Amino acid sequence: MEEQGPKGFTVKDRRKVSMQDVDRETPQAATADPKEGPTSEQQEKAERRFDQASEKCEQKRSTPLPEVSFATFILSLSSSALVHLGEIPDPASQKSEIDLPMSKQIIDTIGMLQEKTTGNLDPEEERLVKTLLYDLRMRYVQKCQK
């Protein structure tokens, strides 16, 4: 029998856009001094590019997203905590599963935000955070006691 060279396989990239086709630019933050972060000019340029890209992407959406505010952010975090507490089904899997360590981390994150924003929130935002934290902490305690 005649010995042939090593057999292998061929990889073909079938993606529509390859990395060579993309106008790539070194991220500005990576070129900035890590101790000081990006310059104001770099931040402004990144924000302009982000705004342009998000406008383009938003045109493709059929339903608008809710306004970005502190309240919607906190409500989003609390919804995630409720998913991990098994109180509401996971939107992706439609299953209710309990993950207490993850729910605790989210609750602790909301608590940290409460501390860091003290004196900077309007009364409605303060009441929202206080109420949500109380509710989430009590639900967590109930789940831990089972």
The yes-or-no verdict on residue 1 having pLDDT over 60 is: no
Q: How many CB atoms neighbour CB 60 within 10 A? A: 6
Encoded tokens for 104: 């605790």
Q: CA 121, CA 113: separation in Å to the nearest integer?
A: 11
- DSSP secondary structure string, 76-130? HHHHHHHHHTTSS--TTT------HHHHHHHHHHHHHHHHHTTTTS-HHHHHHHH
The yes-or-no verdict on residue 15 having pLDDT over 70 is: no
Encoded tokens for 136: 């989430």
- pTM of the predicted model, to two decimals? 0.65
Q: CA 71, CA 128: separation in Å to the nearest integer?
A: 7
- CA distances (Å), origin 73, targets 15, 77, 88, 102: 35, 6, 18, 17
Q: What is the pLDDT of residue 34?
A: 65
Average pLDDT estimate for 6-18: 56
The yes-or-no verdict on residue 38 having pLDDT over 80 is: yes
Q: Where are the domains of the chain?
A: 70-145
The yes-or-no verdict on residue 77 having pLDDT over 70 is: yes
Q: How confident is the model at residue 36 (pLDDT cuts 50, 70, 90)?
A: confident
Q: How many CB atoms neighbour CB 122 within 10 A? A: 10
Q: CA 21, CA 128: separation in Å to the nearest integer?
A: 47
